[in-house]
Amino acid sequence: MSRLLVVGTVAYDSIETPFGKVDNVLGGSALHFTSAASFFTDVGIVATVGKDFDLNDISYLKERNVDMSGIRAEEGKTFRWEGRYGYDLNQAITLKTELNVIEKFKPVIPDTFKDAEFVFLANIDPELQTHVIGQIKRPLALVLDTMNFWIENKFQALMEVISKVDMLVINEAELREISKEHNLVKGARKIMEKGPQCIVAKRGEYGVLMVKGDEIFLCPAYPLEDVFDPTGAGDTFAGGFMGYLSNVGEVTSETIKQAIIMGSLMASFNVEDFSVNRLKGLGYDEIKERYHSFRKCVEFGDIKFR
Amino acid sequence: MSRLLVVGTVAYDSIETPFGKVDNVLGGSALHFTSAASFFTDVGIVATVGKDFDLNDISYLKERNVDMSGIRAEEGKTFRWEGRYGYDLNQAITLKTELNVIEKFKPVIPDTFKDAEFVFLANIDPELQTHVIGQIKRPLALVLDTMNFWIENKFQALMEVISKVDMLVINEAELREISKEHNLVKGARKIMEKGPQCIVAKRGEYGVLMVKGDEIFLCPAYPLEDVFDPTGAGDTFAGGFMGYLSNVGEVTSETIKQAIIMGSLMASFNVEDFSVNRLKGLGYDEIKERYHSFRKCVEFGDIKFR
């Protein structure tokens, strides 16, 4: 049994940043997610690839006990994305998107995945996300991501799937766009009225803002001196976040906060190299070390009032 | 004796935000700074105003023991600034700047202020900031602010005054512009090579990043649902920051971190109303309360590693 199920994309990316350029490297939401989550729990992936995809390229995930039986190879080519970043690494310019096999993707959840305790619906068509929910047993936490394209083109379908999930893990810009509120806390409360109990807003280099009922949690991003390639940072965050929750096995305000920190740390590794390179070779000790270094950056003694 | 000296501007502001409009209200760096700092320590202001300025308007500062003998009324009108904000309150559009008496401002530090233990040089011409340093005894902490105008028009003079101070409290955009580094940590290290031991970078709604030697501190901004007018937030931050340090009386990594939190909390009050209105009526208990509420937003239990 896989404790954590992710449904998303596996892709080949071509990326240019001010620091280098790569062609046809591993990418896609499900792959970035799993590269992080597999450090903490047993993950099952559901995705589609083309006949050109070589499963040997992701054998490092097998070693981490990832169940890849849900990756189906279809006639055609694997999804491809081509993008570029300037020195302000916050925003990607999409140069080319080749949907390829993704165009006909209709996720089929293998029976062995249907009772996963934690489920992450990475960014795909919200109608497909609803289709996935119809196939699974109610998990401990059902968490959703999306993107501006669906907000702008399938808003009703998106709101329907949002009403069914426990949490949203989205960018601050997406939170603003969905809620039509500039203020993130207000926007989160507005979305929570539709169903979710918790909104996790990713703010890139500025960290994460979480709203859950009356609680707010603020997590700064780990301060890096060299950010190399931000592609996949959001999905890597989600992977660390869900992987941590799945390992702890319970969803409370306390574990959500800790999971946010873990997601944030995993994302900080991801951006240090292209593709999944950094996560591929990462050691568990490095995660512990970075956590201790993170704590030093946020701890402070109690204020002395006069 | 004033423990904390600030040299800056006193102004009349006209401001429009999506939430309202005010004309000729109290503003200026020294006034915003003092409105915050005076909660914690004895402040002396050095600034210039025109004959049109009514000192009765700032009598609330007298009640907080502020020494205003350094405010000189010159022939002419008080400095005026007119600005507007859109829903994204991060950036002001300057509609009009009337320098008036500021044009001939040449700060004269009264003898009673010369041995202040803490000195804040708010944003004015860097040559005048150097001129102030020439008049005072070496304080425990000499802290500088500036703005893009001086970076672009008096870079040499700015670098000269930077080389003489202990700390910089500036916006992240200014840090990038001075250091010519996109990465804030790298940029801070580059500026520290020129003299200052500590760089405090203000990131608006995203909080504060501090770099001091090998240490980094990250302080998220207090999460507000209603930001009304951001004018003066940076100076209010500096006022809470310096006021706290001055009250504690020593400058260590620990006290700097706490001072950053206090600055951040004071700024969170400032943006809740126009001008200095919120700080004028603020109670000390409200500050304590907000601090406890802030702690809840950033605290998290220790990560459980498997």
Model pLDDT for residues B234-281, shown as the tens digit of each residue: 999 999 999 999 999 999 999 999 999 999 999 999 999 999 999 999
> Searching chain A, which residue's CA lies closest to the CA of residue B209?
A223
Q: What does pLDDT average to over chain B? A: 96
Among B247, B286, B292, B305, pick the best mutation site for testing chain A contact (most A Cβ within 10 A).
Answer: B305
State how far the Cα of A297 lies from the Cα of B78, in Å rounded to an integer. Answer: 43
State how far the Cα of A303 lies from the Cα of A290, in Å rounded to an integer. Answer: 26
Among A199, A292, A303, pick the best mutation site for testing chain B contact (most B Cβ within 10 A).
Answer: A303
Closest alpha carbon to B265 in B232, B229, B296, B289: B289
Q: Is A272 left (phi over 0), alpha (psi -120 to 50) or beta?
A: alpha
State how far the Cα of B44 lies from the Cα of B117, in Å rounded to an integer. Answer: 11
Nearest CA to CA, how far is A302 from chain B (Å)?
A: 7
- CB-based contact, B87 to chain A, within 8 Å: yes
pLDDT of residue A306: 76
- φ and ψ at residue B111, rounded to 5 degrees: -55, -40
CA distances from B163 to A173, B168, B211 (A): 39, 10, 16
Contacts of B108 (CB under 8 A, 6+ apart): B46, B70, B72, B135
pLDDT of residue B1: 57
Strand order across the beta sheet in which B118-121 lies: B67-74, B43-50, B4-7, B118-121, B141-144, B167-171, B198-202, B208-212, B215-219
- CB-based contact, B253 to chain A, within 8 Å: no
Closest alpha carbon to B24 in B50, B60, B45: B50
CB-based contact A58:A45 (threshold 8 Å): no
Nearest CA to CA, how far is B228 from chain A (Å)?
A: 11
- Averaged pLDDT for residues B105-134: 97
CB-based contact B278:B69 (threshold 8 Å): no
Task: Specify the pTM.
Answer: 0.96
Q: Is A20 left (phi over 0), alpha (psi -120 to 50) or beta?
A: left
State how far the Cα of A14 lies from the Cα of A20, in Å rounded to an integer. Answer: 11
Look up residue B175 and give its two tokens.
Answer: 């840090």
Contacts of A152 (CB under 8 A, 6+ apart): A177
pLDDT tens track for B87-100: 878 778 999 999 99
Residues 90..129 of B with a Cβ closer than 8 Å to A: which? none
Residues 197..236 of A with a Cβ closer than 8 Å to B: which? 203, 206-207, 209, 215-221, 223-227
Among A17, A88, A172, A206, pick the best mutation site for testing chain B contact (most B Cβ within 10 A).
Answer: A206
Residue A103 DSSP class = G
List the domain boundaries for chain A. 4-298
> Searching chain A, which residue's CA lies closest to the CA of residue B305?
A288
Per the document, the length of chain A is 306
CATH homologous superfamily of A4-298: Ribokinase (3.40.1190.20)
Residue contact A300–B218, C-beta within 8 A = no
- Cβ atoms within 10 Å, residue B171: 17
Closest alpha carbon to B36 in B299, B239, B233: B239
- φ and ψ at residue B108, rounded to 5 degrees: -115, 120
- CB-based contact, B283 to chain A, within 8 Å: no
State how far the Cα of A247 lies from the Cα of A40, in Å rounded to an integer. Answer: 6
Q: Is B204 left (phi over 0), alpha (psi -120 to 50) or beta?
A: left
State how far the Cα of A143 lies from the Cα of A126, in Å rounded to an integer. Answer: 13
- 3-state SS track over A116-150: CCEEEECCCCHHHHHHHHCCCCCCCEEEECCCHHH
Closest alpha carbon to A279 in A292, A261, A265, A266: A266
The ipTM estimated for the assembled molecules is: 0.94
Q: The tokens 């799993």 sit on which residue?
A: A34
Per the document, the length of chain B is 306
CB-based contact A80:A22 (threshold 8 Å): no
Nearest CA to CA, how far is B290 from chain A (Å)?
A: 12
Among A300, A302, A304, A306, pick the best mutation site for testing chain B contact (most B Cβ within 10 A).
Answer: A300
Chain A environment of B284 (Cβ under 8 Å): 305
pLDDT of residue A91: 79
- CB-based contact, A293 to chain B, within 8 Å: no
pLDDT of residue B162: 98
pLDDT of residue A1: 57
State how far the Cα of A21 lies from the Cα of A46, in Å rounded to an integer. Answer: 29
CA distances from A69 to A2, A108, A109 (A): 11, 11, 10
Residues 7..46 of B with a Cβ closer than 8 Å to A: which? 40
Contacts of A78 (CB under 8 A, 6+ apart): A10, A11, A12, A49, A50, A52, A53, A100, A101
- Averaged pLDDT for residues B291-303: 96
- Averaged pLDDT for residues B179-196: 97
Among the partner residues B206, B248, B261, nearest to A300 by beta-carbon distance: B261
Q: Is B117 left (phi over 0), alpha (psi -120 to 50) or beta?
A: alpha
State how far the Cα of B110 lies from the Cα of B46, in Å rounded to an integer. Answer: 8
Rounded mean pLDDT for each run of 10 residues along chain A, 306 residues in total: 91 94 96 98 97 95 96 96 87 91 94 97 97 98 96 97 98 96 96 98 96 97 94 97 97 98 98 97 97 97 89
- Cβ atoms within 10 Å, residue B105: 21
- φ and ψ at residue B192, rounded to 5 degrees: -65, -25
State how far the Cα of B174 lies from the Cα of B261, in Å rounded to an integer. Answer: 21
> Searching chain B, which residue's CA lies closest to the CA of residue A258?
B303
Residue contact A261–B300, C-beta within 8 A = yes
pLDDT at B67 over 90: yes
State how far the Cα of B53 lies from the Cα of B79, in Å rounded to an integer. Answer: 10
pLDDT tens track for B145-178: 999 999 999 999 999 999 999 999 999 999 999 9
CB-based contact B118:B5 (threshold 8 Å): yes
- φ and ψ at residue A112, rounded to 5 degrees: -65, -15
pLDDT band at B224 (very low <50, low <70, confident <90, very high): very high
**Beta strands A198-202 and A208-212: pairing type?**
antiparallel
